[in-house]
Amino acid sequence: MSGAHRLGRTARIARLVVLCLGAAVMLAPFVWGLAASFKPAAEIWSGSLRLIPQTFHGWENYSAALSRAPFGRFLLNGLIVCAGILLFQLIFAIPCAYALSKHRFAGRTVIFGAVLVGLLIPVHVTAIPLYLGFARLGLLDSYAALIAPFTISVFGIFLFRQFFAAIPDDLIAAARVDGFSEWAIIWRVVVPASWPAITAFAIFSVTSHWNDLFWPFIVIQSTELAPPALGVVYFRRDESGVDFGPMMAATVIVTAPLVLAFLLAQRRFIDGITLSGVKG
């Protein structure tokens, strides 16, 4: 923007006031939850608006949360599931997207058509038949059940296809002349040239599966296999909502990883999470 058009003083102050009010609402649950995680029950239920705890009860709340539910395990499950999903998504989507963008072959339009159809179908629609399938295979309540339905990301194929199309054909022709196989071209030419798209997709994939509740809610019964979102639901159910101190501590524990990651790599996170914007 050129500096030509500046707001007047009143307008600037009004802008700041409105934005600060909005920011207060946005931040309220973070601040209030964090504060409560350090307060003893008596203080939480005193109905006071005081933010800073009078008695520091953080240690007790956090150790209570950690002893009553395996939060370390939930986080680890989240990590395993997200990493597994991402790994398979990349392995399957990248070669397919490469073939769709750089090869002309009979059946290409059919595959691409399937991708476009797939983009419209959320997991909620396929959930029941998938559940029946996993039940038949005896795979319910397992990491496999958590990971398998998401090993194929049509959105990933769609996104990478767009990105790969922008890679000059000459670069790929040169690699072929140099004697690279198609497989080698993918992993040694195309992938290194596409890091921005891959990181953005990785962040998109990890955040959506880290936060997913619907599918784990259906297929997982055992506490030891629950990813973070489901872990919170289990913990709430067991605590039946009375002991807010440890509950807030638990909330902080499961929320912190992604929020911290966002604060550390903001630009990439914003690009990644808003990636579904490319979809349109």
Partner 1 sequence: MPAELAPGEGLLGRAQRLRRIGAALTGWGLSLPAALLMLVMILIPTLSAAILALTDYQLGARSIRFVGGANFAAMWEDRVFWQAFANTLIYTALTVPVSVGLGLGAALLIEADPLGRTTFRTIYFLPVTALLVAMATVWEFILHPQLGLVNVALAQIGVTGPDWLADPDWVLPSLGFIFVWQQTGYNMILFLAGLKGIPSELYHAARVDGADRGIERFAMVTWPGLAATTLFVTVITTLYSFRVFDTVAALTQGGPSNASNVLLYNIYREGFVYLRTGYASAMTLVFLALILAVAMVQMRGRRGGGA
Partner 2 sequence: MASLEIEDVTKSYGATLILDRVSVAVPDGAFLTLVGPSGCGKSTLLRILAGLELQDGGRLRIGGQDVSHLRPSRRDIAMVFQSYALYPHMTVAQNIAIPLILRRLPLWQRLPLLSRLLPQARATLGQIEAEVAGAMAMLGLTHLADRRPVQLSGGQRQRVALGRALVRQPAVFLLDEPLSNLDAKLRVHMRAEIAALHARLGTTFVYVTHDQIEAMTMSTHVAVMMEGRLLQVATPAEIYAEPANLQVAEFIGSPRINVLPARVGSGGAAQLAGLALQGRIAAPAGASVQIGIRPEHLILRADPGGVGTVTAIENTGPELFVSVLTEGDTVLVARLTPDQGAGLRPGSRVALDVLPGKALAFDADGARIGFGHSVAAARELYHAR
2 binds partner 2 (CB under 8 A): yes
Position 189, amino acid: V
The residue from 4, 26, 110, 242 that contacts partner 2 (CB under 8 A) is 4
Q: Which stretch binds partner 2 (CB under 8 A): 2-10, 81-89, 109-117, 132-140?
A: 2-10
Asked whether 55 and 40 are in contact (CB, 8 A), the reply is: yes
Cβ of residue 12: shortest distance to partner 2, in angstroms?
Answer: 17
27 binding partner (options partner 2, partner 1, none; Cβ < 5 to 8 Å by kind) = partner 1
Out of partner 1, partner 2, none, what residue 47 binds, judged by CB under 5 to 8 A for its kind, is partner 1
CB of 107 to partner 1, least distance (A): 7
Give the Cα separation of 4 and 157 in Å (integer). Answer: 44
- For partner 2, which is the closer residue by CB, 4 or 25? 4
Query: What residue 32 binds from partner 2, partner 1, none (CB within 5 to 8 A, per partner kind)?
Result: partner 1
Distance of CA 30 to the CA centre of its chain: 19
Query: Binding partner of residue 18 among partner 2, partner 1, none, CB under 5 to 8 Å per kind?
Result: partner 1
Determine if residue 107 is left, alpha or beta; phi over 0 gives left, psi from -120 to 50 gives alpha, anything else beta.
left
Amino acid symbol at 183? W
Among 1, 3, 9, 136, binds partner 2 (CB under 8 A): 3
Could you give the CA distance from residue 156 to residue 268 in angstroms, rounded to a whole number? 17
Give the Cα separation of 280 and 274 in Å (integer): 11
How many beta carbons lie within 10 A of that of residue 134, not counting itself? 19
Q: How far is it, in rounded angstroms, from Cα 85 to Cα 219? A: 16
Measuring CA to CA, which residue among 252, 231, 229 is closest to residue 69?
231
Helix (H) or strand (E) holding 170: helix 169-177
Residue 1 touching partner 2 (CB under 8 A): no
Contact (Cβ atoms closer than 8 angstroms) between residue 244 and residue 40: no
Write down the least CB distance from residue 133 to partner 1, Å. Answer: 7
Q: Does 177 bind partner 2 (CB under 8 A)?
A: no
Shortest distance, position 87 Cβ to partner 1, whole Å: 14
- Between 2 and 221, CB nearer to partner 2: 2
Rounded least distance, CB 13 to partner 2, Å: 22
Which of 157, 7, 138, 148 lies closest to 93 in space, CA to CA?
A: 157
Longest Cα separation, the chain: 75
Closest distance of CB 257 from partner 1, Å? 9
Counting residues that bind partner 2 (by CB under 8 A) gives 3
Nearest approach in angstroms of CB 5 to partner 2 is 8
Residues near partner 2 (CB under 8 A) = 2-4
